[in-house]
């Protein structure tokens, strides 16, 4: 579902906020003055009127006009995101006290902090060129929670040092990307420590979408911890969709974010159960660099009912359009394959997918060493499970021993180098491409 399926009262609130936002855009930004010239009906009487407005992405030919105007006004902070395209794009967040208080209140409600006392939290997120870590730090301060920023991919705070922080300071909350969340648990296991006995009781993940099986594995590893995930874009400066206790992605409870799930014409809303569409976001806050009807580059799948504690609509995020694999006339997303793989506790948390002229191969890493007969049996079981659930015949599965899989970057993606398309490459080029991954 999308914002079109909110209650009528919530849709009215959102329509009012969108009208205020449109006025703000027209009064302050040359880019939107030009972009909206062809819009015959500027007033938004209902959310259906959003279809009258043009969509936007970072490749829009005029978007540099918006960027240059915002930077000329000396915003309080500048960050960058590369996103799907790999092109740098400005992120100008609102780090003011009002937004910080709103974010803190959201966290308290979302995690039911009134029912579970949190004294300390580890923030394992990038702090350079990305504002998300700072936004969490400031929100935790409002909640009287001690924030411990450890960063990621830094020699100053390696996974071993993070585990030491866990042991000495006993934080109850971990805020991290899924790949670091899993990495810490696997590092504990390698050190002979059961992560289920750690102090972590609640986990917030951001930066990547998460399959249901990955949610369940993380919760199980951390002894039944309450695991949640946020889906959004840093450039939109919004929390985006939030997961519930049943691991489904919902619209936020406060109607400030316009979420559209649209067919390929980017006008017609998706309405059928299980139908896949493009996700567009509009943050109705008056940001330093507002983005109206912004294409996320992600697909979402409609689900009408969830039965959880949330009352807002559900969009299950499938992943980037650029990472979708065409297989015998169907679209397959890496997260669908991940959802099968992560049910196997014998497999570690990283995987790679190779697509080559309609053939799909997998590279997987074992959590612990297995004998050849057990490896062959596991390979056959994985191949059967994927075929039964997704209708995909996996051409080959390469099961590697613990520590042998390089380029560990979480979910398989084109940009991350863990989803490969080898169509059109010579045999020598294919071997060279894959050898780089092993040796990097």
The tens digit of pLDDT for each residue in 265-289 reads 998 999 888 899 999 999 999 999 9
Virtual CA dihedral for 267, 273, 274, 277, nearest 10 degrees? 10
Identify the bridge partners of residue 90 per DSSP, sorted by sequence position.
Answer: 80
CA distances from 141 to 134, 156, 299 (A): 11, 23, 35
pLDDT 10s digits, 208-232: 889 999 999 999 999 999 999 999 8
CA separation for the pair 284, 297 (Å, rounded): 20
The set of residues, in sequence order, having a beta carbon less than 8 Å from that of 61 and lying 6+ positions away, is none
DSSP three-state, residue 211: coil
The total of other beta-carbon atoms located within 10 Å of residue 82's CB is 12
CA separation for the pair 96, 278 (Å, rounded): 31
CB 415 within 8 A of CB 86: yes
- pLDDT score for 83: 58
pLDDT 10s digits, 372-406: 999 999 999 999 999 999 999 999 999 999 888 76
- pLDDT score for 85: 53
Domains, the chain, in order of start with CATH, read 3-94+249-298 (3.40.50.12780), 97-236 (3.40.50.12780), 325-439 (3.30.300.30)
Percent pLDDT > 70 in the chain is 91
- pLDDT score for 304: 78
Point out the least confidently predicted range of 1-5, 32-36, 216-220.
1-5
pLDDT, mean of residues 24-46: 96
**Residue 283 CA to its chain's centroid (Å):** 17
CB 239 within 8 A of CB 272: no
pLDDT, mean of residues 223-247: 89
Q: Write phi, then psi, for 284 (nearest 5 degrees).
A: -80, -5
Most confident of 238-247, 348-357, 378-387, 426-435: 378-387
Average pLDDT, whole number, for the chain? 88
Query: Residue 2: which of 341, 181, 352, 260 has the closest Cα?
Result: 260
pLDDT 10s digits, 153-208: 777 788 889 999 999 999 999 999 998 999 899 889 988 999 999 999 999 999 88
């Amino acid at each position: 579902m999308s914002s079109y399926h909110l209650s009528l009262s919530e849709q009215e609130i959102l329509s009012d906020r969108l009208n205020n936002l449109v006025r703000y855009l027209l009064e302050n930004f040359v880019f939107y003055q030009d972009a909206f010239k062809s819009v015959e009906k500027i007033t938004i009487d209902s959310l259906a009127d959003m279809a009258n407005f043009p969509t936007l992405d970072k490749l829009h030919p005029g978007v540099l006009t918006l960027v240059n105007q915002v930077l000329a006004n000396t915003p309080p902070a500048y960050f960058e995101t590369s996103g799907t395209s790999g092109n740098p794009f400005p992120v100008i967040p609102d780090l003011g006290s009002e937004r910080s208080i709103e974010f803190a209140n959201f966290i308290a409600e979302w995690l039911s902090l009134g029912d579970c006392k949190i004294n300390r939290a580890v923030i394992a997120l990038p702090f350079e060129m990305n504002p998300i870590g700072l936004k969490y730090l400031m929100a935790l301060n409002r909640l009287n929670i001690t924030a411990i920023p450890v960063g990621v991919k830094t020699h100053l705070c390696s996974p071993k040092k993070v585990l030491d922080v866990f042991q000495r300071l006993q934080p109850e909350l971990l805020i991290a990307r899924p790949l670091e969340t899993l990495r810490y648990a696997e590092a504990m296991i390698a050190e002979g420590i059961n992560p289920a006995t750690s102090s972590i009781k609640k986990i917030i993940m951001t930066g990547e979408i998460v399959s249901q099986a990955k949610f369940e594995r993380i919760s199980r590893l951390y002894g039944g911890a309450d695991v949640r995930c946020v889906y959004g874009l840093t450039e939109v400066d919004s929390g985006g969709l939030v997961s519930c206790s049943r691991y489904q992605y919902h619209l936020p409870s406060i109607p400030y974010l316009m979420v559209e799930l649209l067919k390929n014409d980017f006008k017609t809303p998706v309405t059928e159960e299980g139908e896949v569409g493009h996700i567009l976001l509009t943050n109705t806050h008056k940001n330093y660099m507002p983005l109206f009807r912004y294409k996320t580059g992600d697909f979402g799948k409609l689900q009408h009912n969830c039965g959880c504690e949330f009352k807002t609509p559900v969009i299950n995020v499938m992943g980037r359009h650029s990472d979708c694999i065409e297989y015998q006339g169907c679209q397959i997303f890496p997260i669908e394959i991940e959802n099968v793989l992560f049910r196997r506790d014998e497999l570690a948390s990283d995987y790679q997918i190779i697509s080559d002229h309609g053939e799909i191969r997998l590279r997987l890493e074992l959590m612990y060493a297995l004998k050849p007969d057990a490896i062959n049996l596991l390979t056959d079981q994985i191949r059967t499970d994927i075929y039964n659930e997704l209708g995909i015949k996996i051409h080959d599965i390469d099961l590697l021993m613990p520590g042998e899989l390089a380029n560990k970057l979480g979910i398989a993606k084109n940009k991350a180098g863990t989803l490969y398309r080898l169509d059109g490459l010579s045999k020598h080029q294919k071997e060279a491409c894959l050898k780089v991954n092993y040796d990097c």
